[in-house]
């Protein structure tokens, strides 16, 4: 079976609306939107992220919230099918020319699946695709994943705007 992207399941506008309930949060939100617009103006396309669910991890609600937030902040967002293999995710990332793959892990497969994804991207000759991880990943596993090429790990409680700002910076590092 060949994996294909699922139709966007992002609910847009909700995250933006929640940040615009306070002046401080609205200012931070709008500053990131301005960064994505600058990215578009300079590079001719929006920053693009693939939110990936691999292995037997069937918990997708958080991934959909993250996808919605990135969309509201100006990214082009792709969602992988549930239960994809690392090879399928790498193919989707290459075919859709994403800047970053966000691997969501809530079922303890991160130490196997994410390094396999990075290896698959290398086989495609696409080390320029930044791989980040999020979800419930024990802090003691962070060094293991980073040593295998994960650019950043965003655990529970990571402020959304902080992580998106960081991802924009990392995309620039990978693609400049």
pLDDT per residue as tens digits for the range 48-58: 999 999 987 77
Domains of the chain, by residue range, sit at 14-173
CA distance 62 to 3: 21
Q: Tell me the mean pLDDT per 10 residues along the chain, length 176.
A: 55 82 91 97 97 82 89 95 93 97 88 97 97 95 98 95 96 79
CA distance 138 to 29: 29
Contacts of residue 174, defined as CB under 8 A and 6 or more positions apart, other chains included, come to 99, 100, 128, 129, 130, 151
Topology (CATH) of 14-173: Rossmann fold (3.40.50)
pLDDT at 176: 65
């Amino acid at each position: 079976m060949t994996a294909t992207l699922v139709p966007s399941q992002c609910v847009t506008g909700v995250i933006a609306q929640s940040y615009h309930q306070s002046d401080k949060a609205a200012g931070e939100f709008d500053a990131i939107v301005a960064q994505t617009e600058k990215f578009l103006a300079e590079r001719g396309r929006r920053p693009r992220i693939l939110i990936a669910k691999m292995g037997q991890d069937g918990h997708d609600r958080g991934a959909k919230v993250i996808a919605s937030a990135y969309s509201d902040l100006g990214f082009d967002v792709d969602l992988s099918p549930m239960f994809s293999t690392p090879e399928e995710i790498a193919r989707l990332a290459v075919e859709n020319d994403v800047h970053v793959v966000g691997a969501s892990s809530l079922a303890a497969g991160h130490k196997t699946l994410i390094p396999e994804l990075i290896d698959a991207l290398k086989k495609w000759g696409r080390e320029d695709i930044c791989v980040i991880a999020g979800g419930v990943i024990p802090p003691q596993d962070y060094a293991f994943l980073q040593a295998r090429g994960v650019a950043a790990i965003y655990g529970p409680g990571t402020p959304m705007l902080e992580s998106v700002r960081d991802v924009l910076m990392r995309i620039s590092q990978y693609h400049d």
